[in-house]
């Protein structure tokens, strides 16, 4: 199912289908059918009634728009769903109709339906994460020796490798993904508590029915109903937010590296991807743009969810009613960001030559720290920094490189030999433990916590 036009820049088609009206309606009907089957198994309702309810619980037999209008009047979709299902069941089996929604409350239906959608969304997010992870490992390995300008406060700094940069992206994303998966594992649980969270109408059969429903729907069974305890969903929403903003950091870096003045990487293009409506020469960072848009949305959505967590007593007023669009938007935005960055990483073109040119364009000034440290042993730290700072300013205003300027300074001639100055501007000789850090980032899950 394609996304609605107004949502076309915040979701993917698979996720748009999962969070569609028809999908949500079917999830609510699945709850009702599972409830009837579990109660029939426990001897609470006739088996024939459960079978009739199961046959009727098909979304294509209901007017989803009518149910939506009635939900606005009722303050919950659970009431019109139960009424519509009972009416449909009654057409074929009058006696079975009275057993629809037996012992449940409207929030049980709404919450469990949302959880069922999240269960369907999880493998989609997981598949795109695998694509992205594999692409970043490949990029990091391929570019373990590709030197580039490191940038701090948007200014040229010491050299790094592109392999380390890609590994850094992967490290943050992997940590974020682990948290999200753990949050999914906790959140995918049944909601079934009845009017006040005691399942009193089922007598001593409440746990039996609940466990059977959870097994039927493929969900976990919690210790107790969680009507006004939204911590599991909050952890998932927050984890999605952290992952999406971490993807945004990667997208920000790529979009900056794609600037015409930098030109060190290029996102994949193709038909209809990344062009301009007026400028034929352009290749725009579309995957990065979509991801950055998602990263801009997520903090507000996370805050909106958290602000609704303080709910009253056993059933809240307004808190959980606000959650459906928030949670849906969070998961869809996270999915879009994951898929966009997976596509970007899989087809990312890295311009090694331009990276080297951008190092050379600094005319050696990014090695001022190295020069200062070499001189500090001979002249003292403060004096060495003054001399190198003076040389750097002269380099920036003249035609020569830093090593050439330093070689002409009398203070330098007395303490540094020609070989030291010759090697000063070799980036491969001033990478520190970049490669060790890169390898640690790639192998992080295999190490014990240190």
pLDDT tens per residue, range 344-379: 999 999 999 999 999 999 999 999 999 999 899 888
**Active-site residue, 315 included:** yes
Residue 148 gets which letter from DSSP?
E
Q: What is the mean pLDDT of residues 398-419?
A: 86
Query: What does the pLDDT read at residue 449?
Result: 44
- Are 336 and 11 spatial neighbours (Cβ–Cβ below 8 Å)? yes
Which is the catalytic residue, given 276, 296, 307, 443? 276
Q: How confident is the model at residue 3 (pLDDT cuts 50, 70, 90)?
A: confident
Q: How confident is the model at residue 280 (pLDDT cuts 50, 70, 90)?
A: low
Q: How confident is the model at residue 450 (pLDDT cuts 50, 70, 90)?
A: very low
Query: What does the pLDDT read at residue 8?
Result: 84
Q: What is the mean pLDDT of residues 305-320?
A: 93
- Domains in the chain (CATH in brackets) are 105-189+226-359+431-450 (1.20.200.10), 365-424 (1.10.40.30)
Q: How confident is the model at residue 448 (pLDDT cuts 50, 70, 90)?
A: very low
Q: How confident is the model at residue 274 (pLDDT cuts 50, 70, 90)?
A: low
Could you tell me which of 282, 335, 278 has the C-alpha nearest to residue 123? 335
With vertex at residue 333, the alpha carbon angle to CA 329 and CA 339, rounded to the nearest 5 degrees, is 145
**Active-site residue, 260 included:** no
Lookup result for tokens 């753990």: 182
At 221 the three-state DSSP class reads coil
With vertex at residue 340, the alpha carbon angle to CA 348 and CA 278, rounded to the nearest 5 degrees, is 80
Lookup result for tokens 């960055």: 341
Query: What does the pLDDT read at residue 281?
Result: 58
Q: What is the mean pLDDT of residues 405-417?
A: 84
| CB-count burial class (<10 Å; 0-12, 13-18, 19+) for 17 | middle
Q: What is the mean pLDDT of residues 130-134?
A: 98
Could you tell me which of 191, 20, 216 has the C-alpha nearest to residue 112? 191
Q: Decide if pLDDT at 446 tops 80.
A: no
Query: What does the pLDDT read at residue 192?
Result: 98
Q: What is the mean pLDDT of residues 220-238?
A: 97
Q: Which helix (H) or strand (E) holds 387?
A: helix 381-397
Q: How confident is the model at residue 308 (pLDDT cuts 50, 70, 90)?
A: very high
Which is the catalytic residue, given 88, 315, 339, 401? 315
Could you tell me which of 425, 394, 397 has the C-alpha nearest to residue 408? 394
- Are 363 and 393 spatial neighbours (Cβ–Cβ below 8 Å)? no
Q: Decide if pLDDT at 273 tops 80.
A: no
Query: What does the pLDDT read at residue 4?
Result: 83
% helix, strand, coil for the chain, step of 5: 70, 5, 30
Kindly state the percentage of the chain with pLDDT values over 70.
96
Dihedral sign, Cα of residue 26, residue 180, residue 326, residue 290: negative
Q: How confident is the model at residue 271 (pLDDT cuts 50, 70, 90)?
A: low
pLDDT tens per residue, range 181-217: 999 999 999 999 999 999 999 999 999 999 999 999 9
pLDDT tens per residue, range 61-100: 999 999 999 999 999 999 999 999 999 999 999 999 999 9
Kindly state the percentage of the chain with pLDDT values over 90.
86
Q: How confident is the model at residue 413 (pLDDT cuts 50, 70, 90)?
A: confident
Query: What does the pLDDT read at residue 270?
Result: 66
- Are 348 and 266 spatial neighbours (Cβ–Cβ below 8 Å)? yes
User: What are the phi and psi torsion angles at 151 (to 5°)?
Assistant: -130, 125
Q: What is the mean pLDDT of residues 306-318?
A: 94
Record the tokens describing residue 130, joined without a space: 């695998």
Cα(53)–Cα(87) distance, integer angstroms: 10
To the question of pTM greater than 0.85 for the whole model, the response is yes
Q: Round the average pLDDT of the chain to a whole number and report it.
A: 93
């Amino acid at each position: 199912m394609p996304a609605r036009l107004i949502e076309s820049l915040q979701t993917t088609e698979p996720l748009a289908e999962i969070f569609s009206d028809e999908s949500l309606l079917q999830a609510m009907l699945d709850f009702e059918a599972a409830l009837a089957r579990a109660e029939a198994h426990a001897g609470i309702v006739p088996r024939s009634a459960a079978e009739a309810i199961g046959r009727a619980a098909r979304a294509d037999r209901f007017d989803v728009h009518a149910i939506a209008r009635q939900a606005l009047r009722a303050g919950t979709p659970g009431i019109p769903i139960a009424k519509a299902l009972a009416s449909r069941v009654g057409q074929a089996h009058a006696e079975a109709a009275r057993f629809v929604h037996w012992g449940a409350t409207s929030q049980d239906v709404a919450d469990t339906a949302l959880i069922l959608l999240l269960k369907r969304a999880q493998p989609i997010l997981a598949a795109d994460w695998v694509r992205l992870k594999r692409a970043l490992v490949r990029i990091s390995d391929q570019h373990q020796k590709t030197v580039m300008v490191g940038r701090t406060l948007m200014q040229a700094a010491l050299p790094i490798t592109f392999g380390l940069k890609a590994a850094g992206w992967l490290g943050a994303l992997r940590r974020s993904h682990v948290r999200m998966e753990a949050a999914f594992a906790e959140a995918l649980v049944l909601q079934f508590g009845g009017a006040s969270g005691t399942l009193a109408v089922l007598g001593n059969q409440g746990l039996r029915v609940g466990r059977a429903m959870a097994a039927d729907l493929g969900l976990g069974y919690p210790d107790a109903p969680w009507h006004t305890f939204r911590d599991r969903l909050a952890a998932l929403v927050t984890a999605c937010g952290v992952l999406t903003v971490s993807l945004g950091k990667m997208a920000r870096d790529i979009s900056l590296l794609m600037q015409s003045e930098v030109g060190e990487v290029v996102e994949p293009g193709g038909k209809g991807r990344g062009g301009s409506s007026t400028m034929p020469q352009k290749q725009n960072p579309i995957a990065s743009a979509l991801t950055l848009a998602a990263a801009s949305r997520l903090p507000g959505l996370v805050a909106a969810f958290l602000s609704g967590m303080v709910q009253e007593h056993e059933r809240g007023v307004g808190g959980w009613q606000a959650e459906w669009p928030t949670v849906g938007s969070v998961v869809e935005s996270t999915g879009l960001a994951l898929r966009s960055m997976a596509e970007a990483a899989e087809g990312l073109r890295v311009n090694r030559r331009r990276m080297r040119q951008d190092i050379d364009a600094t005319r050696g000034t990014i090695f001022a720290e190295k020069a200062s440290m070499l001189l500090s042993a001979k002249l003292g730290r403060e004096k060495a920094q003054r001399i190198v700072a003076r040389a750097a300013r002269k380099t920036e205003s003249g035609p020569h490189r830093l090593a050439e300027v330093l070689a002409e300074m009398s203070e330098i001639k007395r303490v540094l030999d020609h070989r030291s100055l010759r090697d000063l501007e070799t980036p491969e000789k001033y990478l520190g433990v970049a490669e060790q850090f890169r390898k640690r980032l790639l192998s992080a899950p295999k190490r014990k916590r240190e």
